[in-house]
């Protein structure tokens, strides 16, 4: 009898612990469509907004990149503040603008829209959720390491609709100051260097140019073979780069024409 009681007690403890387990330090969870969102109780007020923007965009983004997500369950981790997020991703000294990552094809990690720090507001953090989900979709096509950072980030920026007046001004300033980096320079830098050189806003304009000039079909060709500009667009990388610079010169309202060496 004592043995049966002991077994019953152990099973009960296991069931109780399983029911109250935390996920990466987060105590709550919510399922919504293809997404399981993990968060702290204090952030419950923003979870419906995060779930809604992800569900509102999932069909559009997966359709744009011809991806089949049947059976996929995406895990979304919402951390209560920047410090907790940076520690969770192993980058405690990261800059304040780093508020989200997608480490694999089924995971998004980000700071809560309720407390994102000085670099982002609530609505911008909802865009970050879409941005990082887009990275997960691209992960499902090809390992992100095989895609240059300007293409990877450009797609995420573009699909999340993250261009705003502040970023447009940054692009205009880079054009005026003759400080637009080349595709090669953007490709060879790390994520911190990329952010500091204005890579996020510039990469948006690159994908904007591709979609405007060539369409999503050609963009998909480049995603699946990132080094082959000839097959995707029928031009060399140098000619593509010249076309992109013409595009931002015309569309971002500046008369400066950068030199391509």
Q: Which residue did the predictor score with more confidence, 1 or 176?
A: 176
Q: Which residue did the predictor score with more confidence, 17 or 152?
A: 152
pLDDT at 254: 58
Among 1-15, 20-34, 205-219, 231-245, the least confident range: 1-15
SS3 call for 165 = helix
Mean pLDDT throughout 156-161? 97
Mean per-residue pLDDT of the chain: 88
pLDDT at 178: 86
Q: Does domain 24-141 have CATH number 3.40.30.160?
A: yes
Asked whether 100 and 110 are in contact (CB, 8 A), the reply is yes
pLDDT at 260: 46
User: For the sheet containing 100-104, what is the strand order?
Assistant: 28-32, 35-39, 74-79, 107-111, 100-104
Place of tokens 């809560």: 112
Confidence label for 117 from pLDDT (cuts 50, 70 and 90): confident
Q: Does residue 22 register a pLDDT over 80?
A: no
Least Cα distance to 20 among 11, 8, 29 occurs for 29
Task: Convert the pLDDT of each residue in 42-91 to its tens digit.
Answer: 999 999 999 999 999 999 999 999 999 888 999 999 999 999 999 999 99
Place of tokens 């923003």: 46
Domain range annotation of the chain: 24-141, 144-261
What are residue 68's phi and psi, to 5 degrees? -105, 115
Checking DSSP bridges between strand 28-32 and strand 35-39, what pairing results, if any?
antiparallel
pLDDT at 8: 35
pLDDT at 150: 97
CA angle 239, 161, 191 (to 5 degrees): 65
| pTM attached to this predicted model | 0.86
Is the alpha carbon torsion for 110, 130, 241, 231 positive or negative? positive
pLDDT at 96: 92
Q: Which residue did the predictor score with more confidence, 16 or 190?
A: 190
Task: Convert the pLDDT of each residue in 208-259 to its tens digit.
Answer: 999 999 999 999 999 999 999 999 999 999 999 999 999 999 998 755 444 4
Asked whether 76 and 36 are in contact (CB, 8 A), the reply is yes
Confidence label for 23 from pLDDT (cuts 50, 70 and 90): low
The residues near 43 (Cβ < 8 Å, ≥ 6 apart) are: 78, 80, 112, 114, 115
Confidence label for 186 from pLDDT (cuts 50, 70 and 90): very high
């Amino acid at each position: 009898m004592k043995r049966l009681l002991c077994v019953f007690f152990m099973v009960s403890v296991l069931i109780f612990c399983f029911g109250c387990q935390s996920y990466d330090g987060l105590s709550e969870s919510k399922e919504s469509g293809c997404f399981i969102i993990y968060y702290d109780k204090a952030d419950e007020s923003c979870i419906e907004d995060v779930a809604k923007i992800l569900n509102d965009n999932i069909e559009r983004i997966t359709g744009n990149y011809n991806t089949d997500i049947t059976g996929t369950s995406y895990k979304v981790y919402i951390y209560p503040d920047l410090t907790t997020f940076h520690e969770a991703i192993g980058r405690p000294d990261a800059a304040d603008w780093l508020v989200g990552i997608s480490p694999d094809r089924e995971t998004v990690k980000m700071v809560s829209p309720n407390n994102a720090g000085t670099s982002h507001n609530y609505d911008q953090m909802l865009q970050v959720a879409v941005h990082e989900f887009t990275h997960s979709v691209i992960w499902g096509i090809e390992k992100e390491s095989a895609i240059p950072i300007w293409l990877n980030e450009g797609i995420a920026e573009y699909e999340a609709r993250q261009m705003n007046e502040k970023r447009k001004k940054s692009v205009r300033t880079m054009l005026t100051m003759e400080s637009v980096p080349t595709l090669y320079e953007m490709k060879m830098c790390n994520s911190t260097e990329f952010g500091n050189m204005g890579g996020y806003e510039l990469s948006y304009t690159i994908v904007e140019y591709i979609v405007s000039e060539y369409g999503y079909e050609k963009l998909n060709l480049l995603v699946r073979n990132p080094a082959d500009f000839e097959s995707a667009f029928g031009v060399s990388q140098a000619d593509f780069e010249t076309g992109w610079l013409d595009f931002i010169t015309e569309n971002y309202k500046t008369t400066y024409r950068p030199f391509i060496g």
